[in-house]
Amino acid sequence: MNKPLTNIHMHIFTSECAPPNFLRVQTSFLLKVLAPLLKPLVERDSVRRFLSRANWLLNLFGRANRHKIGRYIGFMDVASQYTEADIFRIALKAAKTHDPQPRLVALTLDMDHMDNCSEPVVNYQTQLARALHLKKLYPDTLFPFISADPRSRGGGELVRYVRPYFETGVKSHLKEGILPYCSGIKLYPAQGFFPFDPRLEELYRYAEAGGIPLIFHCTRVGSQYLGNNIEALIPPEPEMIMPVAGNPGQAEALAAKEEIHARIARYRAKGWIRNNTMGVNDNACDLFSHPQNYVPVLLKFPNLKICLAHMGGSTEVSYMDPDLADEKGRKASGHRRYRRLQETWKTDGHNWARLIRDLMVTHPNLYTDLSYTVADLDSGLVRTNIMRWLATTDLNHRELSERILFGTDFFLAEAEKGEPTLYQLILNTLPHHLHQLTRENPERFLQKTAAAV
């Protein structure tokens, strides 16, 4: 059977779906302060055009911030001047230059709990309805993932909520049969919940039984929780899904639990978990996204297909190999940013890229995707480490390249490089793995949910 090219990770929501303080996801303190004023301004076409040209003004923010603002403007160019349909068509055009009938997986994102002090103009349910409207127009091209957040609903209620989106759908234009409205579930723990939250247990059971794939955002920082109540979201010993007693993985799950609790204590001691009104929760939110949080879930639901997106992020990828990292670290050791990174790794206890790779070796249904990180494939170190990752074998002697998925993170990655450039980068840098990453692996990942029945 012909396997279509699939972009497993892209987005089509507009800036109205993000809360007004969204700009606070940037790490710069100055931008956090100005965020609520800047978002409505930068949403205007004329303001963005002015800013792109006003070098003198941007220079006032310093070089690093200037770069960040520039990236944000590029991102807002897509997010605010188009409808979902327009955003989708830009991504589709780029994909179609490589396959006349591609598949785009649009991850919807519940941002309703991202900030307890402000609300998005368009709530999640409307965002989802708009994505499903597009699914009716492009049944064989657009494959939405529904978003789940245990603070919206949990347990059996959450399963009752998602079920109709997988069990009803639209008629395929290409084949006989019906395609489900949604093809998987997207979760974004950095917005303020742990993936081992017991309120998600029923959802995992349902997804495992139905072969429904899950994608979790997995990098440090990102669009994290921006509210003023972070301490309540991170108790010293949060409740955790655990494998049942007698499970052979029990000891491994307990060891992970102990490490997770110890990490929370270290972050607390550093003063990194502290209520504040500026959305300065960057370090604290790493605790939600941490790859180790998936250990008890993977042990309890060994057949659950989980993708930890972005390979942990390109910074983690570039430092994942201790030999290469030492050399790179020596060169960077004088820089403040590198010293901050070292402090983070020391307090955290792990390099995330290395940890995701190691977990993939022992857990045969764990995947990762190249999205966003693909923008740094032109860096020698990122490329070398990804090639090594692809060639690493798991306990069944199968290459991890079988569980790495191609994605771009359109349009969030617009802040780095345009969509056609990202396709070209993977074409140029990983030509021998192209068929596997863009066609075979996504086909296996979406096997049960993207076929007409």
216 strand-pairing partners: 187, 308
The span of 42-50, 271-279, 352-360, 401-409 binding Zn ion (CB under 5 A) equals: 401-409
Three-state SS string across the chain, please? Answer: CCCCCEEEEECCCCHHHCCCCHHHHCCCHHHHHHHHHHHHHHCCHHHHHHHHHCHHHHHCCCHHHHHHHHHHHHHHHHHHHCCHHHHHHHHHHHHHCCCCCCEEEEECCCCCCCCCCCCCCCCHHHHHHHHHHHHHHCCCCEEEEEECCCCCCCHHHHHHHHHHHHHCEEECCCCCCEEECCCEEEECHHHCCCCCCHHHHHHHHHHHHHCCCEEECCECCCCCCCCCCHHHHCCCCCCCCCCCCCCCCHHHHHHHHHHHHHHHHHHHHCCCCCCCCCCCCHHHHHHHHCHHHHHHHHHHCCCCCEEEHHHECHHHHHCCCHHHHHHHHHHHCCCHHHHHHHHHHHHHCCCHHHHHHHHHHHCCCEEEECCCHHHHCCCHHHHHHHHHHHHCECCCCCEHHHHEECCCCECHHHHCCCHHHHHHHHHHHCHHHHHHHHHHHHHHHCCCCCCCC
> Would you say 298 or 307 has its CB closer to Zn ion?
307
Distance of closest approach, residue 217 Cβ to Zn ion, in angstroms: 6
Q: Per rule CB under 5 A, is residue 369 in the interface with Zn ion? A: no
- Per-residue binding string, Zn ion, 261-300, x by CB under 5 A, is ----------------------------------------
The span of 127-135, 191-199, 206-214, 407-415 binding Zn ion (CB under 5 A) equals: 407-415
CA 107 from centre of chain: 9
> Would you say 348 or 409 has its CB closer to Zn ion?
409
Distance of closest approach, residue 239 Cβ to Zn ion, in angstroms: 27
CA 393 from centre of chain: 24
Distance of closest approach, residue 142 Cβ to Zn ion, in angstroms: 16
> Would you say 208 or 409 has its CB closer to Zn ion?
409
Distance of closest approach, residue 452 Cβ to Zn ion, in angstroms: 26
Distance of closest approach, residue 391 Cβ to Zn ion, in angstroms: 26
Distance of closest approach, residue 326 Cβ to Zn ion, in angstroms: 31
Distance of closest approach, residue 44 Cβ to Zn ion, in angstroms: 25
Distance of closest approach, residue 12 Cβ to Zn ion, in angstroms: 11
Q: Per rule CB under 5 A, is residue 414 in the interface with Zn ion? A: no
The span of 70-78, 388-396, 406-414, 425-433 binding Zn ion (CB under 5 A) equals: 406-414
- Per-residue binding string, Zn ion, 239-258, x by CB under 5 A, is --------------------
> Would you say 242 or 415 has its CB closer to Zn ion?
415
> Would you say 374 or 381 has its CB closer to Zn ion?
374
The span of 113-121, 184-192, 404-412, 425-433 binding Zn ion (CB under 5 A) equals: 404-412
Distance of closest approach, residue 215 Cβ to Zn ion, in angstroms: 8
Structure-token pair, residue 345: 């790794």
Distance of closest approach, residue 25 Cβ to Zn ion, in angstroms: 12
> Would you say 87 or 260 has its CB closer to Zn ion?
87
CA 111 from centre of chain: 13
Tokens 């029990």: give the residue: 250
> Would you say 376 or 409 has its CB closer to Zn ion?
409
The span of 268-276, 336-344, 405-413, 433-441 binding Zn ion (CB under 5 A) equals: 405-413
Size of the site for Zn ion (CB under 5 A): 1
Which residue's Cβ has the minimum distance to Zn ion?
409
Q: Per rule CB under 5 A, is residue 409 in the interface with Zn ion? A: yes
CA distance linking residue 64 with residue 434, whole number of Å: 34
Structure-token pair, residue 31: 């931008």
> Would you say 26 or 65 has its CB closer to Zn ion?
26
> Would you say 105 or 253 has its CB closer to Zn ion?
105
Contacts of 159 (CB under 8 A, 6+ apart): 202, 203, 206
> Would you say 84 or 409 has its CB closer to Zn ion?
409
Query: What residues line the site for Zn ion (CB under 5 A)?
Result: 409
